[in-house]
Amino acid sequence: MDRLEELKSKYASVLTLVKSRGVRLDHLHVQDDKLVMQGAAPNDAVKNQIWDEIKVVDGSYSDLLAEISVDSSLPQPAPEEVIYTVVAGDSLWKISAKFLGGGQNFPRIIAANPDKLKDEHSVIHPGDQLRIPSGE
């Protein structure tokens, strides 16, 4: 296996995240025995996600040179789906307040879970898993 393929394999989870979060990858090659990754993320949050994943793979990242800038003209990635597991004492109001900026937004949780919730009288139980819509 050549060095490029070896490093691409090592950093596969980073490259998968790059692709899924809409990062434009301008260069990916080996130079001085290091993987050189240059590109642009659509926002700071995505840039930070990429760096977090790099650190998970190898905290020293001594075999990687990553130059990731932010280009806000790139298409923004779709929000990641959040799955929340209900705990004792939860209500749709409380969950909505936690994730959606206010309890009054609980109908959005109902709408995102038509297979589990019919209306505001639907009962939730500890262990239930609910999709939480984007906070936007």
Which of 70, 91, 109 is the endpoint of a domain? 70
Of 2-6, 51-55, 63-67, 80-84, which range is least confident? 80-84
Considering the domain architecture, whether residues 88 and 60 belong to the same structural domain is answered as no
Q: Are residues 21 and 60 in the same domain?
A: yes
Q: What percent of the chain has pLDDT over 70?
A: 98
Segment 69-101, tens digit of pLDDT:
999 999 988 777 789 999 999 999 999 999 998
User: Is the residue at 16 inside a domain?
Assistant: yes
- 29 is in which domain, residue-wise? 3-70
Nearest of 3, 55, 69, 71 to residue 31 by alpha carbon: 3
Q: How many domains does the chain have?
A: 2
Check: CB of residue 100 under 8 Å from CB of residue 86.
no
- Residues 50 and 102 both lie in one domain: no
> What one-character DSSP code corresponds to residue 42?
S
Contact of 85 with 103, CB cutoff 8 Å: no
Predicted pLDDT of residue 78:
76
Is position 76 within any domain?
no
Give this prediction's pTM: 0.62
In the structure encoding, which two tokens stand for residue 89, read together?
């004492």
For residue 84, list its beta bridge partners: 130
Instruction: Check which CATH number belongs to the domain holding 19 and give it.
Output: 3.30.1340
Residue 89 lies in a domain: yes
- Residue 75 domain flag: no
pLDDT of residue 16: 94
pLDDT at residue 136 greater than cutoff 70: no
Backbone angles phi, psi at 95, to 5 degrees: -65, -45
